[in-house]
A and B are shown apart, each in its own frame.
Chain A
Amino acid sequence: MNPKKSYRFTFVILIISLIALWFLNISLGSVSIPFKDIISSIFNGIASRDTWHTIVVNYRIPKAITAIMVGAGLSVSGLLMQTLFRNPLAGPFVLGISSGASLGVALLILGSSLFGGFAFVSTSNFGMAIAASLGSFLVLSAVLIAANKIRNTMSILIIGLMFGSLTSAIISVLAYFSSAEQLQQFIFWGFGSLGNLNWNELAIFGSLFFIGIVFVLFIIKPLNSMLLGENYAKSMGVNLKRTRNIILIITSILTGVITAFSGPIAFVGLAVPHLTKLIFNTSDHKILIPAVLISGAILMLIADMIAQLPLSEYTLPINAITSLFGAPIVIWLLVRKRKIYV
């Protein structure tokens, strides 16, 4: 038996599915475009009709790339949180990081009426990205400071949930004083959307995503030693403080930028690490991190295709689709594998 070989096989299948799904994702949409025109738009830069070319290049490709980065980024953040807190229930959403990002965006969109001075700050995607990153960083730091004072993991989760409630409360207050137009803008942001990005915004998103992922590669080794708990990790030469800070920064950059550009997308960050651990049956982050990145991207591409409601004009909120179709799958897998997965 060679475990490495079987991992390689699974990876090949996952990568092929990812590529196939990416093309499928681009082929589907409210406007029906023949597959050969899709291919020629991508590779030759022309299609039978100019509008088709525009739709593919300026709308569908950015959306498919966004889906990949959102899925991969949230999933890897969830994995980092689960390893750091040594708790399978941890994820960016549970610990209130997404709520922090929401608070940042809420302050920007809704707060402008309360604090007139901020009104000149643009509510462009870029401004929202900064606000959401700051918000998520703030909440995650608060949770971690609290985590350092109390060792009990359950208390940390409760504190995370409390921060979540706290930020929702502040958002409610802000919403109360906001105009209907601002409220609508905020609620639509909360539905989640992958299709709002132009190529310039995609470039910003992509660079931050890339920076985050590169940092992740450098903490694979300490993440593995943290599987034995912090004291063992320290005894094996891990600089805990530095590792914790890197995890903190990566997670807040990734969740912050994702939440800003695509809204607070639930479920993916919690579920994909579990799905991946069930498929690969390992805790080795050298395997898990690439696996989680690819699985998250696949899940998001599928969710986006379902949300499109192929051949119809409607697009459902992506945030609902991820949970609606993903949660039953995770429940089914956990129940089926109950005996193995303690």
Chain B
Amino acid sequence: MKDSNKHSILKTENLSIGYTNKKKKTVIASNLNIELQKGTFVCILGKNGIGKSTLLRTLSKVQPKLSGNVNIHGKDLNSFSEIELAKTMSLVLTEKLPESNLTVFELIALGRQPYTNWVGTLTKSDVDKIHKVMGLTKIEQLSKKKYYELSDGQLQRVLISRALAQETELIILDEPTAHLDVLHKMESFKLLKELASQLNKTVIVSSHEIHLALQTADELWLMTDKEFITGTPKDLIENKSVEKLFDSDTVHFDFKQQQFILKQK
């Protein structure tokens, strides 16, 4: 028991997520009990509007929780200062970047901000780290390009590189593969899996790529209308939890293909 606690990076107790405006509380999901080990690649699956993004936003303190606890390394999320949190957790978001003249190198270099001085001067060790990250994600040749010249697939790698440059144990990505073709989707998942297994990063991804998630993830968090289920892909397929993702007359889960297909009449 003690040993497992040592490696636990993220833990939630009776977490309830949603929105509050004025006096009305909109609960999107409640009673979430999560315990996540270091170096795990987690995929959050669930249909549109089920609360995947809300969960990620709550875990990354972008949005306040409704009730319950979120602990990182046994410390309450709310007691983290901005800088502490920036050194613990990095984000890759779906939102479009505002227009600017940033080059790929400059964009990734922004990830070093929690460590740089008051004007953000890059030391030699910062520059080395940025180059190392670009080598890892294979984007060195893009270094001097403006970010708006990149394809969606390249930009995704750049944004992941920025998160890596931030040197955090935890990386949270909100639907990172939404605009990508099949090849780039697979490459992204492969990269994220490698980050978890080789660099011991803890990677949390929300996604609609059920097939890919089942193949690559160490752990799945399934969000359905009724429950929140966690487990390894293998277990969740075997105990038929994956089927609960879409309660519909149109699709069903096919065990052979390991994906949802149209129901044949």
Contact = CB atoms under 8 A, between A and B. Distances in A.
B113 interface: yes
A225 B91 CA distance: 13
Contacts of A86: 98-99
B77 interface: no
Interface residues of A, number: 26
Q: In the complex, which of the residues B99, B116, B166 has the most CB atoms of chain A within 10 Å of its own CB atom?
A: B99
A229 interface: yes
A234 interface: yes
A297 B181 CA distance: 50
A322 to B, nearest CB: 25
Contacts of A218: 118
A277 to B, nearest CB: 6
Given A88-B99, A236-B110, A221 B91 contact: no
A235 B86 contact: yes
Nearest to A223: B120
A282 interface: yes
A232 B113 CA distance: 11
A237 B110 contact: no
A41 B85 CA distance: 59
Given A232-B93, A283-B100, A224 B110 contact: yes
Contacts of A88: 99
A342 B148 contact: yes
Interface string A222-234: 0011011101101
Q: In the complex, which of the residues A229, A232, A239, A282 has the most CB atoms of chain B within 10 Å of its own CB atom?
A: A232
Interface string B93-121: 10101111110001100110110101110
B110 A238 contact: no
Q: In the complex, which of the residues B101, B119, B148 has the most CB atoms of chain A within 10 Å of its own CB atom?
A: B101
A236 B92 CA distance: 11
A112 to B, nearest CB: 43
Interface residues of B, number: 30
A228 B89 contact: no
Given A218-B118, A220-B120, A286-B120, A228 B99 contact: no
Q: In the complex, which of the residues A86, A221, A342 has the most CB atoms of chain B within 10 Å of its own CB atom?
A: A221
B148 A237 contact: no
B82 A237 contact: yes
B183 interface: no
Given A236-B114, A342-B148, A231 B102 contact: no
Contact of A277 (B89, B98, B101, B106): B101
Contacts of B114: 236-237
A122 interface: no
B60 interface: yes
Contacts of A227: 98, 100, 102, 110
A236 B119 contact: no
Contacts of B97: 228-229
Nearest to A220: B119
A201 interface: no
Contacts of B95: 229, 231
A235 B98 contact: no
A169 interface: no
Contacts of B113: 221, 224-225, 236-238
B252 to A, nearest CB: 37
B83 interface: yes
Contact of A236 (B62, B98, B166): B166
B91 A237 contact: no
A286 B89 contact: no
A281 B101 CA distance: 7
A324 interface: no
Interface in A78-109: 86, 88
Q: In the complex, which of the residues B62, B85, B90, B98 has the most CB atoms of chain A within 10 Å of its own CB atom?
A: B98
A298 B120 CA distance: 28
Contact of B86 (A237, A282, A286): A237
A232 B96 CA distance: 11
Contacts of A286: 119-120
B208 to A, nearest CB: 21
Interface of B: 60, 62, 82-83, 85-87, 89-91, 93, 95, 97-102, 106-107, 110-111, 113-114, 116, 118-120, 148, 166
Across the A-B interface, the 3 shortest Cβ-Cβ residue pairs: A237-B86, A86-B98, A283-B101
Given A232-B91, A235-B90, 9 more contacts: A220-B120, A228-B110, A231-B62, A234-B62, A235-B86, A235-B89, A239-B82, A282-B101, A283-B106
6 contacts: A228-B102, A236-B110, A237-B82, A237-B114, A277-B101, A283-B102
